[in-house]
A and B are shown apart, each in its own frame.
Chain A
Amino acid sequence: MITREPPYLEPPVNAIAALGRRVIASCQGSGRALMMLLGAVKYLPFMFSRRNRADVMQQCYLVGIKSLGVVSVVGLFTGMILALQLGLALRTFGQEWTIGTLVCNAMLREMGPFMTGLVVAASVGSAIAAQIGTMTVSEEIAALDVMGIDPLRYLMMPRLVALAAMTPLLALYMDMIGLFGGSVVGATMLGVSYESYFDGAFRYTHNKDLYVGLLKAFIFGVIVVCVSCYQGFITGEGAVGVGRATRRTVVVSFLLILTLGYFVTRLAYR
């Protein structure tokens, strides 16, 4: 059962005890979030079963289609900013014709998945935490538990499938939009023709850049669903608790996306 009573702890006697308790609580929280993730993974074979099919499709629609607008704007301006900043710096050395290569590499390897991760965490992750948190506070999660409906199957698994599948697709879409945005800046402000821009972009980019970027986006999607569902399920203290769960989801997801993104890059490009 997901519904659990929070453990009672005596107030800490001093600052060191308080710090120690926070560390222990963080470790316990991470462990429980991972156990929830594994619990949801266990139900993946049932994603197209009669019970779950509609929920999975609906979540895919919410994550994939409903995020397209914001991903388009963020992707377009990320590519334009990259092209502008790099182009202005490279113009000093007369190398502005290389911006196609640089923008393409930066978008595929890092900025596409990273910015997609942030967008998904801020929009989808916060919404998941708020929804599940509200359900926890209003005893809907307890009701599911008592009815014998596992919230990990009914709520978490469809969101896991949606985020794991849609985040890489959104990242790919953001890569393309960003690349296009960069080409517009190159052509209108730096005097780099579209032909030259895209020639540079594709000539010096490898398949690995794309795969690693998509892998990162997949990991970021899983992080967001893991953090947001966990925070939702442990929500307490009414509306204040829901607000706290939402804020924690965004903060923890951002930090994990940033740090894990670095380590994946380091492992992939040693």
Chain B
Amino acid sequence: MIRFENVTKRFGRKTVLDDLSFEIQRGETFVIVGLSGTGKSVSLRHMVRLLTPESGRVWIGDDCVSEANGSELQRILQRFGVLFQGAALLQWLNVLDNVCLPLRQTRRLPEAEILRLAEEKLEMVGLTGAAEKMPADISGGMRKRVGLARAIVTQPEIVLYDEPTSGLDPVISRQIDLLIDDLRRRLGVTSVVVTHDLNSALYIGTRVAMLHEGRMVVCATPEEFIASKQPVVRDFLQAQGIADLQDVRKAFGK
């Protein structure tokens, strides 16, 4: 579904992605973890061509997104929904209009149908009563949920989540994680999540990959990830107090 082929990305003299190759299968939730500045968000931004690699290619199915332009790029991007780190809601539109925006601007649908789809997605993220509120009047967690509703309103095949729980308290973070997991089950979308939060990565991920100095040191199922002997992985697990999957389930009250 998504394939990185020897992707290298530099910012000035700093190599952020170093000959990175991996593949994400259809329908899975692929979580990328790692320390700050290791290239997690950079790899995510390559998938929607917000960044272009110095060398290598990024494939979405049979389309090379890293070399696409114009209408071909637009066609590829229609397969994506993206939840940005700060939700990136338009401040002058209320919650409902923000969710309706991609439908109004890119689809030829009757207004009644647009409103029905938007309200359906707001209900999915538990924000039915907040439709008329402005982004400035709602909490960070609600903003992320509105961003999520907007990301899925066009019924994309792939949803990208850039730090979906950053800046949120643990309770709201767990709610967002459960929502991501629930959406994958209900909509069957392919999800790519970038996060620092290992609890969330190991709970929602079907595979977890760890980036370190621009390279992927581990890419495994949650069970295999926890059992990894890689020193950077062990340090990361230890720093977040995770010894086994029981700890993760406890964090989610399961």
Footprint of B on A, CB under 8 Å? Answer: 1, 3, 5, 8, 51, 135, 138-140, 142-143, 145-149, 154
B51 contact set on A, CB distance < 8 A = 5
Nearest B-chain residue to A6, judged by Cβ = B11
A149 to B91, CA, bound (A): 16
Which residues of B (74-131) have their CB < 8 Å from a CB of A?
Answer: 74, 77-78, 80, 82, 84-86, 88-91, 101-102, 104-106
- Asked if A142 contacts B74 (CB within 8 A), the reply is no
A135 to B87, CA, bound (A): 12
Q: Given contacts A138-B86, A142-B88, A143-B84, is CB(A148)–CB(B77) below 8 Å?
A: yes
A146 contact set on B, CB distance < 8 A = 48, 50, 77, 80, 82
B84 contact set on A, CB distance < 8 A = 139, 142-143
- Asked if B88 contacts A140 (CB within 8 A), the reply is yes
Pairs A–B under 8 Å by Cβ, sample size 29: A1-B49, A3-B50, A5-B51, A8-B12, A51-B104, A51-B105, A135-B90, A138-B86, A138-B88, A139-B85, A139-B86, A140-B88, A140-B91, A142-B50, A142-B88, A143-B84, A143-B88, A145-B50, A145-B77, A146-B48, A146-B50, A146-B77, A146-B82, A147-B106, A147-B150, A148-B78, A148-B105, A149-B101, A149-B106
B102 contact set on A, CB distance < 8 A = 147-149
A148 to B12, CA, bound (A): 29
Q: A139-B84, A149-B102, A149-B105 are in contact. List 9 more A-B contacts (CB 8 A).
A: A1-B73, A5-B52, A51-B105, A139-B86, A142-B88, A146-B77, A147-B82, A148-B102, A148-B106
A8 contact set on B, CB distance < 8 A = 10-12
On chain B, the number of residues with a Cβ less than 8 Å from chain A's Cβ atoms is: 28
Nearest B-chain residue to A5, judged by Cβ = B51
A150 CB to nearest B CB, Å = 9
Q: A3, A138, A146: which has the most chain B beta carbons within 10 Å?
A: A146
A159 CB to nearest B CB, Å = 14
A33 CB to nearest B CB, Å = 21
B109 CB to nearest A CB, Å = 11
Nearest B-chain residue to A147, judged by Cβ = B102
B11 contact set on A, CB distance < 8 A = 8
Nearest A-chain residue to B105, judged by Cβ = A149
Nearest B-chain residue to A148, judged by Cβ = B106
5 A-B pairs with the lowest CB-CB distances in the bound complex, closest first: A143-B88, A8-B12, A147-B102, A139-B88, A149-B105
Nearest B-chain residue to A145, judged by Cβ = B50
A142 to B147, CA, bound (A): 13
A52 CB to nearest B CB, Å = 9
B52 contact set on A, CB distance < 8 A = 5
B49 contact set on A, CB distance < 8 A = 1
B17 CB to nearest A CB, Å = 13
Which residues of B (1-24) have their CB < 8 Å from a CB of A?
Answer: 10-12
A120 CB to nearest B CB, Å = 21
- Asked if A154 contacts B88 (CB within 8 A), the reply is no
Nearest B-chain residue to A9, judged by Cβ = B12
A145 contact set on B, CB distance < 8 A = 50, 77
A31 CB to nearest B CB, Å = 18
A135 contact set on B, CB distance < 8 A = 90
Which residues of B (23-68) have their CB < 8 Å from a CB of A?
Answer: 48-52
B244 CB to nearest A CB, Å = 36
A51 to B88, CA, bound (A): 20
A147 to B103, CA, bound (A): 9
A51 contact set on B, CB distance < 8 A = 104-105
B1 CB to nearest A CB, Å = 17
